[in-house]
Chains A and B, each alone.
Chain A
């Protein structure tokens, strides 16, 4: 069953702006991951945050996790047209427990 629910479903911004996507989940997790998918192709892992972490950075990406609210956010700063893609959160209930459960995704369009 699907665990993550992304919000918004679709987001359109201008190049240079920041994009924020949110993910909510229902059960306790070991970690939460964000993936990117270009044009319906394979997914690429972006970042993983563990349940005992609150914030993590990777380049222009910033992920936060609030386990009390069962929610996470992905911030992409200084967006580029090449960031146009669908972004999915995925949760792992236990350590080393794959497969992951994916949310419905946010379709991000960055307009040059």
Chain B
């Protein structure tokens, strides 16, 4: 299993500003995944973060808008840059648990509202 601490849990931000979301895992993991969940919708993968290399972004997401850091095997950050109201979503980090096969463990999410 894996326990993930994600913060902040929620924030209200002004248009044009940036917010950095942090995820700390209680064990070393190779890959960390960042998802976005727009209101009433499913999860969409933003990017996969590997330690020591640049994150791999999914179609529709770019590094300038969602820069990701992965300085070590237990920590990652996602920044939502130059925010607009369309960025209002829940952002979730997740990892594959050690020895759990393909099962994912999730942080508690960051509920972002952009005014």
Name B's interface SS.
strand
B90 within 8 A of A: yes
Q: Are B6 and A98 in contact (CB under 8 A)?
A: no
* Chain B residues within 8 Å of A, Cβ to Cβ: 4, 6, 31, 33, 35, 37, 41-45, 48, 90, 92, 94, 96, 101-109, 111
A98 nearest CB neighbor, chain B only: B96
In-complex Cβ contact of B102 among A2, A40, A100 (8 A): A100
Given the interface pairs A98-B33, A99-B48, A103-B42, the reply to whether A42 lies near B104 with Cβ below 8 Å is no
Q: Could you pull out 19 A-B pairs where Cβ atoms are within 8 angstroms?
A: A2-B44, A30-B102, A31-B102, A33-B103, A35-B104, A42-B4, A42-B6, A42-B92, A42-B109, A48-B102, A48-B103, A90-B104, A98-B96, A98-B102, A99-B33, A99-B94, A100-B102, A100-B104, A105-B42
Mark interface residues in A39-62 (1 if CB within 8 Å of B CB, else 0): 011111100100000000000000
